């Protein structure tokens, strides 16, 4: 196999439909970030770097045979869990009242990011292993595999990540055929335990939920983010104020406008029309994910693809929901658009897996 063949081989592993859509997101991200950062080219360039790294990672994963990924599941999960435990030791780095990072000398890393891939991977691997003999107990084991890291992350505290990982794990359980009875029972149990959960929550978490009910209660404090987000979105109207013309954005009223609240910038400057376009782009990617999932040939790939697709949607929904004021403000970036390398990398790794699943299927067929 010469270099030319190798290159062809690598290109073959990329799904052109997904690739096109992801390219669209990259473009939107750079253009929007230019406005959100008040024309800060350095920030746009840094994000271009993040995108380049993430696309490369996606490419590598997409080119990887699927059994490599399966083999990686257990070590990755165990390693990630260890790191999560290490965060709780004095090696953990605290910032803004949360201990989420590990100092590894050259940089600080956030183990919970690794778990975004590792947890569904581990669960899918577990179901694949026991495919032939699936019983109720296997679902319990899978649930434990999910709940341990989620609990550790929630304790940091990092509610956003905990919710997202919890959702991605739940999707695996759901697609793996978790019985309806159990789900309904679980939902009732969750409802019953809500008061206990409430008392176990941090003050700031409770505040955020209360603020959701009435953000004006604390307009300058906890409710400020929600109110300013809603003003930005609402004042955008149908057509928006125009690119670079968002007053909420450019006059600094919008907090975290290049990261978690970048959707408010989009919504203010491009209005309802822009939101419809952006939602369409997400729907397109999710739709493609569903097709890949439906056509996946193995139990493991079906669970993985389905979980990745639904988690991606969850990312988007939670972010837009919190910016437009129907969900509490939890630190969830707008997938593929918010400034930042980590979230971008994790998401693109997921898309790499999706592509790998798609092309492996193709290879099987031919």
Partner 1 sequence: MNRYVELKNHQREIYYFRLRLVLSLGFVAVMLLILLLRFFYLQVFRHDYFHTLADSNRIYVVPIVPNRGLILDRNGVVMAQNYSGYTLEIAPAKVTDMDALIAELSKLVEITPKDIKRFQKLLTERQTLETMPIRSQLSDEEVARISAQQFRFPGVEIKARLFREYPYTDQTSHLIGYVGRINQKDIDQLEEDDAVSNYLGSDYIGKTGIEQSYERDLHGKTGFEQVEVDAGGRAVRVLSRTAPQSGSNLMLTLDAKLQEVAENAFGEYRGALVALDPTNGEVLAFVSKPGYDPGLFIDGIDTDTWDELNNSPDTPLNNRALRGQYPPGSTIKPFMALAGLYYGTRSPTRSISDPGYYLLPGSRHQYRDWKAGGHGAVDMFKSIVISCDTYFYGLATEMGIDNMHSYLARFGFGQKTGLDMEGETSGLLPSPEWKAKRYQQVWYPGDTVSAGIGQGYNLVTPVQLAFATAILANDGVAFQPHLVRETRPASGSPVLTMPKQLFDLKIDPANLKLVKSAMEAVTKPGGTAAVAGYGAPYRLAGKTGTAQVIAIKQGEKYDAKKISEYNRDHAWFIAFAPADKPRIAMAVLVENGGHGGTTAAPIARKVMDYYLLGKIPQPLQTVTQKSGEQSD
Angle between helices 341-365 and 111-129 (to 10 degrees): 30
Containing 95, the helix (H) or strand (E) segment is strand 92-95
Token digits of residue 132? 């032939």
Mark the segment that binds partner 1 (CB under 8 A) among 109-117, 192-200, 271-279, 349-357: 271-279
Of 205 and 235, nearer to partner 1 (C-beta) is: 235
Token digits of residue 152? 């550790």
Query: Cβ of residue 205: shortest distance to partner 1, in angstroms?
Result: 22
Query: Cβ of residue 147: shortest distance to partner 1, in angstroms?
Result: 21
248 binds partner 1 (CB under 8 A): yes
Of 103 and 245, nearer to partner 1 (C-beta) is: 245
Q: What angle do CA 90, 96, 101 make, to 5 degrees?
A: 40
Query: Cβ of residue 316: shortest distance to partner 1, in angstroms?
Result: 9
Length of the chain: 366
Of 51 and 73, nearer to partner 1 (C-beta) is: 73
Of 81 and 304, nearer to partner 1 (C-beta) is: 304
Query: Cβ of residue 99: shortest distance to partner 1, in angstroms?
Result: 30
Of 108 and 297, nearer to partner 1 (C-beta) is: 297
Residues with Cβ within 8 Å of 219's Cβ and at least 6 positions away in sequence, in order, are 227
From residue 51 to residue 90, what is the string marking binding to partner 1 with x (rule CB under 8 A)?
A: ----------------------------------------
Query: Cβ of residue 310: shortest distance to partner 1, in angstroms?
Result: 6
138 binds partner 1 (CB under 8 A): no
Query: Cβ of residue 198: shortest distance to partner 1, in angstroms?
Result: 24
126 binds partner 1 (CB under 8 A): no
Of 161 and 249, nearer to partner 1 (C-beta) is: 249
Q: What angle do CA 341, 302, 124 make, to 5 degrees?
A: 70
Token digits of residue 238? 């149908």
On whether the CB atoms of residues 267 and 248 are closer than 8 A, the answer is no
Token digits of residue 176? 């793996």
Mark out the alpha helices in the chain (DSSP H runs).
Answer: 3-12, 16-36, 41-63, 66-87, 111-129, 136-155, 159-175, 180-200, 203-213, 224-236, 247-250, 262-295, 299-323, 341-365
Residue selected from 247, 277, 362, 363 as contacting partner 1 according to rule CB under 8 A:
247
Cα dihedral across residues 313, 316, 319, 325: positive or negative: negative
Of 29 and 293, nearer to partner 1 (C-beta) is: 293
Residue selected from 13, 50, 275, 346 as contacting partner 1 according to rule CB under 8 A:
275
Which of 122, 18, 24 lies closest to 73 in space, CA to CA? 122
* Three-state helix/strand/coil letters over 222-262: CCHHHHHHHHHHHHHCCCCCCCCCCHHHHCCCCCCCCCCCH
Q: What angle do CA 129, 131, 132 make, to 5 degrees?
A: 115
Of 17 and 272, nearer to partner 1 (C-beta) is: 272
Token digits of residue 295? 């056509």
From residue 145 to residue 184, what is the string marking binding to partner 1 with x (rule CB under 8 A)?
A: --------------------------x--xx-x-------
Q: What angle do CA 253, 254, 258 make, to 5 degrees?
A: 140
Query: Cβ of residue 184: shortest distance to partner 1, in angstroms?
Result: 14
Site for partner 1 in 206-235 (CB under 8 A): 230-235
Number of residues located near partner 1, criterion CB under 8 A: 44
Site for partner 1 in 284-343 (CB under 8 A): 286, 290, 293-294, 297-299, 302, 306, 310, 313, 317, 320-321, 324-326
- List contacts with partner 1 (CB under 8 A): 131-132, 171, 174-175, 177, 230-238, 247-248, 251-253, 267, 271-272, 275-276, 279, 283, 286, 290, 293-294, 297-299, 302, 306, 310, 313, 317, 320-321, 324-326
């Amino acid at each position: 196999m010469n270099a030319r063949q190798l290159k062809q081989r690598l290109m073959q592993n990329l799904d052109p439909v997904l690739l096109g859509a992801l390219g669209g997101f990259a473009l939107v991200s750079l253009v929007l970030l230019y406005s959100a950062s008040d024309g800060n080219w350095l920030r746009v360039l840094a994000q271009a770097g993040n995108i380049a790294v993430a696309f490369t990672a996606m490419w590598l994963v997409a080119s990887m045979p699927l059994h490599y990924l399966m083999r990686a599941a257990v070590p990755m999960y165990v390693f990630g869990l260890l790191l999560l435990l290490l965060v709780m030791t004095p090696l953990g780095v605290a910032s803004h009242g949360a201990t989420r990072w590990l100092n590894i000398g050259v940089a600080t890393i956030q183990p919970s990011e690794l778990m975004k891939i590792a947890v569904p991977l581990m669960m899918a691997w577990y179901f694949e292993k026991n495919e032939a003999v699936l019983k109720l107990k296997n679902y319990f084991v899978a649930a434990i595999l999910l709940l341990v890291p989620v609990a550790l992350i929630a304790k940091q505290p990092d509610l956003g990540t905990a919710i997202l990982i919890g959702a991605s794990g739940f999707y695996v359980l759901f697609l793996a055929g978790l019985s309806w009875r159990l789900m309904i029972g679980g939902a009732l149990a969750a409802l019953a335990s809500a008061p206990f959960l409430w008392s176990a929550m941090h003050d700031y978490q409770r505040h955020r939920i209360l603020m959701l009910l009435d953000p004006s209660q604390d307009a300058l404090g906890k409710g400020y983010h929600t109110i300013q987000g809603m003003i930005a979105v609402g004042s955008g109207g149908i057509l928006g104020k125009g690119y670079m013309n968002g007053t909420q954005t450019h006059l600094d009223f919008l907090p975290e406008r290049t990261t978690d609240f970048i959707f408010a910038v989009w919504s203010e400057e491009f209005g309802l029309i822009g939101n419809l376009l952006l939602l369409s782009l997400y729907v397109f990617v999710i739709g493609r994910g569903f097709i890949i999932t439906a056509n996946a040939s193995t139990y493991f790939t079906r669970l993985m693809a389905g979980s990745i697709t639904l988690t991606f949607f969850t990312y988007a929904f939670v972010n837009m929901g919190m910016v437009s004021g129907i969900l509490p403000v939890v630190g969830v970036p707008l997938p593929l658009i918010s400034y930042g390398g980590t979230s971008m990398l994790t998401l693109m790794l997921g898309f790499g897996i999706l592509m790998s699943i798609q092309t492996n299927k193709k290879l099987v067929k031919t």
